[in-house]
Every structure is written in structure tokens, then in C-alpha cells.
């Protein structure tokens, strides 16, 4: 029996408006429906609020996450802030340092771990954003707001796409965030010192709370002081008539406009700093959330990174949903929020996986691991294929989700058909190319769909499904560790995160204490066999180590321990 897949359809393309610009790119595909993707609850932290609500974090492709959310949250999200890739042509890395080795400023025992790559073909980036902005529109409440953070690389394209998705006249703001700091000398242009944030309204009656900043010292200096100590001016002439007296304390401050020059980037020594690339300051997100929502409104960020949106929403008593495809981002956010719950007694949250692909920590590392494991020779000069294996061109499809017909679109669009035409003429009975695509699960009609799309060209297509064909493939070395119970206490006796040790080129005896490798320990003393619900959370500061020894409560059942290393990779151990 064929399993029924729940589909969500969107409104058809908006009618063409005379004189209204629309962005076209080669291979632009309409996006009019998506299917429901299941999610698995993996962890819970803290307690729900009075209404039973728990905030939600999802690990997975945000297209699939948003498709999942449509079932329960379509038209119910009040604010969406996203800080998506900028197409900056850069790799973003996080500095990893082993605790207790070297002094605080030493980099001798540190290395950089790539978190994600922001390198795209132009068409691929635009289609990626187009589809996600449509899903964002579908999730927004009738009067919800979306703020899209970008910079000079793609801002002009994104604005036209936003106009198409939300309609003409829906743009409410172009915010310029100009940040200060060291200005690097550039050879033939002015240094870049600002980002742009586009605000769009889904309807007319959206929430708006005017924001203020303190008056400047120069402005205050214009005021006199009366006998009661109040600051006043008596030279105000607003209408051209007589003057009147105004008092400084009658005004809340200067109204925040669309140029924000008062918010600096995250300070390297700030408490909020997570050592995550592209992290935005809490003050920036706080201003957006305060202006456009009220308490208990739902705030969503599907490119959550280090979890700044979620942390600020928690502090401001807003409900939140977050998502990221990078497990390092999910682990960083989880650690950050768990600590916040302990400090503030805030509403708890749940962590879900979408599509249950628990294989890789991040997309960048995943592709490299697959290529290494299959001995694929990389092709750095190609924007079509990732490598070559035994005379076949190899394309690695998106990791951590099944490959669909839509995913084939980029490959099919970029194929060198002019070369294929020559090969077809020269050898009409031979394939014009032999291509292997590597995936983790795929739709059953993928091969037929490919043949149909390439039409007249004979292409020998091989599909290597890691879940099916390479189930025993050793992609990474598993971590190991051990627990012990003595005298009413739980001891973590050992922890060997093999990938981390391999990256550091250290032997086990090269680290004096396993705690130096650990960012956090979470313990569920009554594990139900399905969902980790830690009641003991050990997250030390950057200069401290986890305890490693924990008191066992009297009503303890099965004990489940989650140890997360400084690479954000986790090992879960169990003892009864």
C-alpha cells in the first residue's frame, strides 16, 4: 500500500501587475506546494508555561522544518527574523580551544572548525531563498512581520524576491545597521561597515511598539535646570507663534529611526559571546522583538546559528521556535538556553529532529566525510560535480535529508549540454556522461525523473544511497566513555571523543583530564527510553571544567548522560 503524504498547497503566483518588477533567474522554478515531514522529539529542558507551551528547537533543513510546522503553525507566527547566508563567498569557522591548556590568550592549542560554507552559484542561492521566503509567508499570522538580515552581496535581489512573495506595498522598513570598530584599508573602494535589514508586513494591522534611545549629551546640554532640578527649555517655537516651556522628563527619549549606529558587534569578551561565526548582538534582536511583538507572541528564526533570537525571546517572555541544519548550532543553542532556564527560571523547550537523520554534525563536514569514505577525488574547479570516482562524475546531494526530484533541478540545469551534444554526434550509441549521485535516502522515482528531464541525452546515472547501499560505511570514529556509581554518586570515569582527538592529533594521554574536552554534561535520572529530559545540567564557564561527579537523587530510575565536547559532538551513556 502506498503511504499517503500530506501536502500543503500555496496560493498561485500573484497576478502580473503592470510596471511591477519581478526577478527572473535561469532555472527559476515555481514553488506551489510542499509535503509534511515528520519530526522526532529527542530532548526536553525545563517546564512548560501556565498554558502548557514549551518552546521548540528543530535540527534539520529549514525547508523541511517549515513544511513540518505548517501543520500546526500555519498563519500563527507573529514575528520571523532570519539572518540567512549572504552569499559572501566565504567559509565560516568557529575557534575550538581545549580547556586548561595554555593561557587564556594562547592559540597554540586551538584550531578552527568550519561551521558552514557560504559559497553558492547565483541561481542556486536565489531559488533557495525564494522557496524559504514563501514558507515564511505561509507561517506568518495575517498581520505578522518578517525581518530579513542581509548585506551588499544579495540585498537588491532579495528585496525584489520579497516584493514578489509578499506583494507590492508590503515593505515597511529598510534598516541600516552600521557597526563600528577597526576599519580595514581597502584598495579601491570605501570599507564596508553596515548591514541591511528588510522589514515586511503580511497585513496592515501589525503590532508596532515605538522604541526610544536616551537623549544625546549634546541634546541635553541645550536644557536649563529649574529650582526643582528639572531640565527644561523655554525657547521652543513649534508653530511660529510664541515660545513655550518643555521639560526633558516629559519625553521618553529619541525615537529610534531606520539607521542604527548605536549597537556594536558582539564584544570578544562579552558574556553573550558564543564563539559562533556571524553571531549577532542581543541588543539588535531585542530592538526588533520589542518593536514588533508583545509578550507571549511567537517568534521564529530558521537560521538560528548560536541561538541569539531564542535567547532574547526567552528574556522578553516571548514564545519561540528555532531551526538550523547545523547540529553545532543546535548544540550551542541548547547549551545557551539550558543555562538561561537555570538562571531565569524561564519557560522550557523541546529539541526535535526532522526526518531522523542523526548522522552528521554539520553539512560541510558531512560532504567531506562522504567523499573521504568513498575515496572520491575532489574537483575544485567544477561548479557541477563534487568529484570523480572510477571514471564517473560524482554529485553529493544534500545530507541529512532524503533527495527529491526538486534537488535534481540544480544538477540538471547546470549540465554541460553543449559538450553532451558533441559526444552524442561522435558516439551516438554511448552515454554522453556517467554520473553517480550520492544521497541519504531518495524518492523512488528519482532515476526515472532524471531520465525524463535530460530528454534526448543518454546519461548513465547511478544512485548510491548511503542508508541502503553503504550501511556499514565507517564515516567517523565513535566516541567512547564509561560511567560508575559509588556511594550514592554518579561518576563519569572516562570520555574519549575520537573525532576531536584525531583533529587535535593528540593521543589519549596527551590530555591530562577528559573534562578539558567537554563543554557540557546533561543528566536525566529517570530516562524513559525515548526523550532525554535532563534534571542535572552542568555547563561551566569558558575557564572552568565540568564536575564529573554528581549526586544521585533518591527516586532515580534509568540514568542517561549526555556529554558534549568542544566540537559540539555528543556521546550518550546509560546506567541503571
Q: Could you tell me the CATH number of the domain that includes residue 48? A: 3.40.50.150
- Burial class of residue 121, CB neighbours in 10 A (0-12, 13-18, 19+): middle
Question: What pLDDT score was predicted for residue 122?
Answer: 64
Q: How confident is the model at residue 105 (pLDDT cuts 50, 70, 90)?
A: very low
- Each residue's pLDDT tens digit, 369-416: 788 778 888 887 677 899 998 889 999 988 767 787 778 888 898 899
Can you give the residue range of the structural domain that contains 158?
A: 7-211+257-354
Q: Is the pTM of this model over 0.85?
A: no
Is the alpha carbon torsion for 453, 60, 369, 112 positive or negative? positive
Tell whether 74 and 203 lie within a shared domain.
yes
CA distance 59 to 400: 10
Question: What pLDDT score was predicted for residue 567?
Answer: 85
- In degrees, rounded to 5, the angle at the alpha carbon of residue 544 between the alpha carbons of residues 479 and 571 is 15
Question: What pLDDT score was predicted for residue 238?
Answer: 62
60-64, 132-136, 144-148, 407-411: segment of lowest average pLDDT: 407-411
Query: Are the beta carbons of 175 and 151 closer than 8 angstroms?
Result: no
- Cross-strand partners of 563: 521, 571
**Could you tell me how far CA 479 lies from the centroid of its own chain?**
25
- Each residue's pLDDT tens digit, 165-209: 998 889 999 999 998 766 677 778 888 899 999 999 999 999 999
Question: What pLDDT score was predicted for residue 264?
Answer: 92
Tell whether 380 and 522 lie within a shared domain.
no
CA distance 411 to 341: 45
Number of separate domains in the chain: 4
Closest residue by Cα to residue 61 from 421, 286, 329: 329
Q: How far is CA 229 from CA 190, 248, 374, in A?
A: 47, 11, 77
φ and ψ at 275, to 5 degrees?
55, 35
Domain boundary among 437, 469, 501: 469
Q: Does residue 361 belong to any structural domain of this protein? A: no
Q: Does residue 193 belong to any structural domain of this protein? A: yes
Q: How confident is the model at residue 76 (pLDDT cuts 50, 70, 90)?
A: very high
- Each residue's pLDDT tens digit, 320-351: 999 998 888 999 999 999 999 988 889 999 99
pLDDT over 80 (residue 107): no
**Could you tell me how far CA 15 lies from the centroid of its own chain?**
33
Q: Does residue 1 belong to any structural domain of this protein? A: no
Is the alpha carbon torsion for 356, 357, 359, 362 positive or negative? negative
Q: State the residue for C-alpha cell 550501511.
A: 471
Tell whether 381 and 505 lie within a shared domain.
no
Tell whether 109 and 241 lie within a shared domain.
no
Closest residue by Cα to residue 205 from 168, 161, 172: 172
Tell whether 59 and 98 lie within a shared domain.
yes
Classify strands 480-486 and 459-465 as parallel, antiparallel or unpaired: unpaired
Secondary structure (3-state) at 182: coil
Q: How confident is the model at residue 90 (pLDDT cuts 50, 70, 90)?
A: low
Q: Does residue 162 belong to any structural domain of this protein? A: yes
Tell whether 219 and 144 lie within a shared domain.
no
Question: What pLDDT score was predicted for residue 17?
Answer: 67
Domain boundary among 417, 445, 469: 469
Q: Does residue 532 belong to any structural domain of this protein? A: yes
φ and ψ at 113, to 5 degrees?
-115, 120
- Each residue's pLDDT tens digit, 203-241: 999 999 999 999 888 888 889 899 898 998 887 666 666
CA distance 545 to 518: 8
Tell whether 195 and 232 lie within a shared domain.
no
DSSP string across 538-563: E---TTS----EEEPPTT--SEEEEE
Amino acid at each position: 500500500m502506498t503511504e499517503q503524504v500530506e501536502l500543503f498547497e500555496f496560493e498561485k503566483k500573484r497576478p502580473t501587475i503592470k510596471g511591477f518588477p519581478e526577478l527572473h533567474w535561469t532555472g527559476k522554478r515555481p514553488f506551489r506546494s510542499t509535503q509534511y515531514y515528520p519530526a522526532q522529539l529527542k530532548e526536553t529542558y525545563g517546564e512548560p508555561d501556565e498554558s502548557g507551551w514549551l518552546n521548540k528547537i528543530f535540527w534539520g533543513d529549514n525547508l523541511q522544518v517549515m513544511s513540518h510546522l505548517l501543520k500546526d503553525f500555519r498563519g500563527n507566527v507573529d514575528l520571523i527574523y532570519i539572518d540567512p547566508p549572504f552569499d559572501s563567498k566565504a567559509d565560516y569557522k568557529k575557534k575550538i580551544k581545549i580547556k586548561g591548556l595554555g593561557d587564556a590568550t594562547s592559540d597554540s592549542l586551538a584550531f578552527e572548525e568550519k561551521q558552514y560554507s557560504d559559497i553558492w552559484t547565483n541561481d542556486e542561492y536565489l531559488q533557495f531563498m525564494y522557496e524559504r521566503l514563501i514558507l515564511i509567508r505561509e507561517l506568518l499570522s495575517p498581520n505578522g512581520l518578517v525581518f530579513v538580515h542581509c548585506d551588499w552581496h544579495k540585498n537588491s535581489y532579495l528585496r525584489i524576491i520579497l516584493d514578489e512573495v509578499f506583494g507590492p506595498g508590503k515593505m515597511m522598513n529598510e534598516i541600516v545597521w552600521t557597526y563600528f570598530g577597526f576599519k580595514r584599508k581597502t584598495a579601491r573602494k570605501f570599507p564596508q561597515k553596515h548591514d541591511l535589514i528588510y522589514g515586511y508586513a503580511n497585513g496592515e494591522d501589525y503590532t508596532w511598539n515605538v522604541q526610544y534611545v536616551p537623549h544625546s549629551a549634546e541634546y541635553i546640554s541645550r536644557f536649563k535646570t529649574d529650582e526643582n532640578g528639572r531640565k527644561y527649555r523655554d525657547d521652543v517655537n513649534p508653530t511660529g507663534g510664541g515660545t513655550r516651556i518643555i521639560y526633558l522628563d516629559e519625553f521618553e527619549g529619541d525615537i529610534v529611526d531606520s539607521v542604527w549606529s548605536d549597537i556594536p558587534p558582539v564584544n570578544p569578551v562579552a558574556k553573550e559571546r558564543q564563539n559562533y561565526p556571524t553571531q549577532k548582538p542581543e541588543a539588535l534582536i531585542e530592538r526588533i522583538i520589542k518593536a514588533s511583538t508583545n509578550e507571549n507572541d511567537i517568534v521564529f528564526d530558521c537560521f538560528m546559528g548560536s541561538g541569539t533570537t531564542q535567547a532574547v525571546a526567552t528574556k522578553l517572555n516571548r514564545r519561540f521556535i528555532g531551526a538550523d541544519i547545523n547540529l553545532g548550532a543546535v548544540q550551542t543553542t541548547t547549551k545557551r538556553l539550558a543555562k538561561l532556564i537555570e538562571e531565569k527560571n524561564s519557560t522550557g523547550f523541546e529539541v526535535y529532529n526532522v526526518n531522523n537523520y542523526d548522522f552528521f554534525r554539520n553539512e560541510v563536514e558531512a560532504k567531506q566525510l562522504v567523499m573521504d569514505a568513498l575515496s572520491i577525488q575532489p574537483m575544485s574547479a567544477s561548479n557541477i560535480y563534487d568529484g570523480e570516482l572510477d571514471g564517473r562524475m560524482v554529485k553529493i546531494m544534500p545530507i541529512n535529508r532524503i533527495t527529491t526530484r526538486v534537488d535534481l533541478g540544480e544538477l540538471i540545469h547546470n549540465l554541460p549540454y553543449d559538450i553532451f551534444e558533441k559526444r552524442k554526434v561522435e558516439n551516438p550509441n554511448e552515454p554522453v556522461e556517467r554520473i553517480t549521485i550520492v544521497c541519504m535516502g531518495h524518492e523512488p522515482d528519482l532515476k526515472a525523473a532524471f531520465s525524463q528531464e535530460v530528454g534526448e541525452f543518454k546519461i548513465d546515472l547511478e544512485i548510491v544511497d548511503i542508508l541502503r547501499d553503504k550501511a556499514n560505511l565507517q564515516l567517523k570514529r565513535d566516541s567512547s566513555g564509561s560511567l560508575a556509581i559509588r556511594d550514592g554518586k554518579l561518576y563519569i570515569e572516562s570520555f574519549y571523543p575520537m573525532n576531536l582527538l584525531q583533529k587535535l592529533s593528540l593521543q589519549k594521554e596527551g590530555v591530562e583530564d577528559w573534562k578539558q574536552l567537554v563543554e557540557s554534561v546533561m543528566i536525566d535520572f529517570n530516562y524513559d527510553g525515548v526523550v532525554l529530559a535532563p534534571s542535572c545540567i552542568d555547563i561551566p564557564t569558558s575557564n572552568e571544567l565540568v564536575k564529573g561527579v554528581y549526586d544521585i537523587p533518591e527516586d532515580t530510575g534509568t540514568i542517561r548522560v549526555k556529554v558534549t565536547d568542544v566540537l559540539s559532538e555528543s556521546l550518550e551513556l546509560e546506567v541503571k
